[in-house]
Chains A and B, each alone.
Chain A
Amino acid sequence: MPEKKIRVLIAKPGLDGHDRGAKIIARALRDAGMEVVYTGLRQTPEMIASAAVQEDVDVIGLSILSGAHNTICPQLMKLLHEKGMNDVTVLVGGIIPEADIPALKQSGIAEIFLPGTSTQDIVDFIHKRVA
């Protein structure tokens, strides 16, 4: 039986439209053999949580550059919990001040990838985590 592909939702929450990073990651994960769904821009936490359920994903990758992470991430984690999606791995990529990282991890974000991260590091992290 062929191995089940890892399913990833790449989401761009908030009002920001800078989607270069989200698109690069979506493509890199796809090139690494994962099944990737990209939500497009300006997704609310509700929209992301619903899409995660509907697409039955293993991983959610959030791209946030605007400084809204402290508002968005806890909201999303709460919604995922309410929907029983407790085993989904949530990753954040973008501009996140180091001081904010501990609280984000506390809220259940598995890892935060800062600017300059190679796409391979993200692929490796997901493989290790979702294997």
Chain B
Amino acid sequence: MSEQRKGSTQTVPPSEASSANREPSAKEQAWEKNTLQPTLEQSPERQAEFTTISGHPIRRLYTKADLPNWDPDRDLGFPGEPPYTRGIHSTMHRSRLWTMRQFAGFGTAEDTNQRFRYLLAQGQTGLSTAFDLPTLMGYDSDHPLSEGEVGKCGVAISSLADMEVLFDKIPLANVTTSMTINSPAAVIWAMYLAVAEKQGADWKKISGTLQNDILKEYIAQKEYIYPPEPSMRLVIDTFEFGVKNTPKFNTISISGYHIREAGSTAIQELAFTLRDGLEYVEWGMRRGLDVDQFVPQLSFFFNAHNDFFEEIAKYRAARRIWHKAMVERYKSKNPRAWALRFHTQTAGCSLTAQQPYNNVVRTAIQALAAVLGGTQSLHTNSLDEAWALPTEFAATIALRTQQIIAHETGVTNTVDPLGGSYFVETLTKEVERGAWEYIDRIDAMGGMVAAIERSYPQREIAEASYRYQVAVDKKEKIIVGVNDFVAEEKPLDVLQIDETVAHRQAARLKKLRADRSQAKVDRRLNALRTAAKGKDNLMPFLYDAVKSYATLGEICDALRDVFGTYEEVAIT
């Protein structure tokens, strides 16, 4: 099977030929003959074939024939217990709602600090920081390549001075913060820890999440700086540092979100993300870290796309796979390492620029899938995000959507309300099997870094993404307002970021460089360079460098000197 898939030209993953050996009961057969057949003869179904948005085939009806030998006590289990199909806590959202964590960031640190404080005042329960492209790529706001990009897709952070403004009057001892940053994650984290220290917050108690998932950058989002080997070293450095110093901080958020946004199927999202997770575990173990100690600090991040049940099956399958891998593959003894905790974001790529108010509905349904799938935290997109970063008005509706699901719909009253559904259980099983097939294939290639180097996941995603586009262009898949139900409309008022942000940042950097001790900066950057050439954990050196107000660009350049940079093989 793996040989057959190598050329990545096969259109449907092998697992999706499901339910081949179904043996319907006598009653089901009688229903088919007496009720179904006459109906079909009178009025045929709307389509010859029904599939999920990922192209996974869906049967007309699921019955116990789809779950042969299925024992709920063994195969489904109970919430808070292996294999965690029903959730990682015994009471799930009855005890604690998910964290409502809206991703925000634009303009300067002052602009975003204001939005953060607004969102907290509206009842948001955690922060999530979006950085602009220069920051994500390790360039200062005044670097020539930053021109036109400063503060556009997130907040511009070029030094600890910016970070201090970003979290001004936000107590890091109490508020958990997620930071979506990858290549320069260790540097930004060092800045965060420096702000926490300055505020007097105890590192042992602070909590939050660093995205820090470089593998999915090579696979999907493409914001990488250094080659895989030194990038992985930086990630493992944060794991090691986190185990010792910040036991409550998630040092990574292993992300399927961007893989899905790049056009993958649900099964690919699940498989590549979980295989990335295994890769990090293996690199951590090779460093000599104890699985039972560092794995509880690894968290996950999934997409919530339009296909409601497929998404729910994906989250349930994710927990099963992680548990199995931890126990069987790595012989973990710590249940905290077995339970897959995840954040969810509704699918940005599902939002339409056309008739944007419809996006509120899409987002609500996607968010509901995440909640029913047992998410620990959630970001709901704003209706205007196919056009721009959200306005305050749009961001508020997105947060209210979560509050309505939490407090009005009643879906949080019971744990895993869909558990035991013939359909959901079958789909969970099929999605899980499809993911394992990919994982086995990547294992056979020598792991995820090796698979990335031969562009395997990149190609699989590009194929799936093109397949979906063709289906949309042919109207085999309908997108309301885009390829059907089209209407004339007025443009939306969107958030515009002007170039004054870049000018303000440039002025601030100029002042920073004039005010700091250059000798100290040079000393610490040299120490970092020397350490990077050796094997020491780089976190303490990064921490010293940021405290001297060396800029993000200077620090990333010091590492570029030693590590070099990465260029991908462009595939289309």
Contact = CB atoms under 8 A, between A and B. Distances in A.
Nearest to B352: A116
Contact of B263 (A20, A28, A115): A20
B44 interface: no
A72 B148 contact: yes
A36 B572 CA distance: 10
A24 interface: yes
Contact of A39 (B146, B349, B570): B570
Contacts of B223: 15, 17
A40 B570 contact: yes
A120 B473 contact: yes
Interface in B196-226: 217, 221-224
Given A16-B153, A40-B570, A95-B387, A24 B222 contact: no
B222 A14 contact: no
B145 A15 contact: yes
Interface in B96-155: 133-134, 136-137, 139, 145-149, 152-153
Interface string A53-84: 00000000000001110111000000000000
Contact of B152 (A28, A30, A67): A67
Contacts of A19: 222, 262
B498 to A, nearest CB: 10
Instruction: Determine which residue in A10, A24, A114 has the highest number of CB atoms from chain B within 10 A of its CB, and name it.
Output: A24
Nearest to B354: A116
A35 to B, nearest CB: 13
Contacts of A40: 567-568, 570
Nearest to B463: A27
Nearest to A38: B572
Interface string B373-411: 000000000000011100000000000000000000000
B496 interface: yes
B467 to A, nearest CB: 10
Contacts of A22: 572
A70 B222 contact: no
A98 B489 CA distance: 12
Interface of A: 10, 14-20, 22-24, 26-28, 30, 36, 38-41, 44, 66-68, 70-72, 95, 97-99, 114-116, 118-120
Given A15-B223, A22-B572, A27-B572, 9 more contacts: A14-B148, A15-B136, A17-B217, A27-B462, A67-B497, A68-B152, A97-B496, A116-B352, A118-B472
12 contacts: A15-B146, A16-B153, A23-B571, A24-B466, A28-B469, A44-B145, A66-B133, A70-B148, A95-B386, A99-B496, A118-B472, A120-B473
